[in-house]
Amino acid sequence: MNETTDENFEKIVQLMIFWSEQWQAHILEHGTPLDERQTVYAQHVGVTAPEKVRVLKVPNVPMPHYEILQKAFIENNVFSLDANGLTLEYGIFIKQGVFPVEYWLTHELVHVAQCERIGGLSPSMRQYLKECLTDGYGESVLEKEAHETALKCLEQHNSFVFKLISNNAINSADSDK
């Protein structure tokens, strides 16, 4: 963690969990359930309760307004205003007009599966922030897993998106932060 002390890390985690719980409730209330194809992808990547997932398309993925979070995220390249998606347990933000949306949604569904596996929003957010603030977004185990698993899912379902990605339309999982 670049200049992020243990005490600051705890503040960051607690604020991010508080912020995430608020937005997750909003997404669950206003988002749409997965369609049939998306449900298949969710199950393929390990989501155990796809019926709980809601997706909310937004012009821009919201960024936490707390100064300590913004500073830590910007300094460590964890979260940006041009993010393509964000998962808050069963709530997913997807940026309107993102291309290819099928990849980004599948990538975020992997994060849903990770939340389930890790034990919910709080413990998964803690692990995600620790990885990103310690090793960097690009080296995060959770991010690498989301990218690789999404690609495998799309490949196995013979998705047109996989063909685009394999032709370097998307180079890596570097824009969903």
Q: What is the pLDDT of residues 137-170, one digit of tens each?
A: 888 999 999 999 999 998 888 766 666 666 655 5
Q: What global pTM score does this model have?
A: 0.87
pLDDT at 57 over 60: yes
Q: Do the Cβ atoms of 79 and 12 come closer than 8 Å?
A: no
Of 7-11, 25-29, 37-41, 113-117, least confident by mean pLDDT is 7-11
- Distance between CA atoms of residues 31 and 16, nearest Å: 21
Question: For residue 2, is pLDDT > 50?
Answer: no
Bridge partners (DSSP) of residue 32 are 55
Tens of pLDDT, residue by residue over 78-113, are: 776 678 999 999 999 999 999 889 999 999 999 999
Banded model confidence at residue 1, pLDDT cuts 50, 70, 90: very low
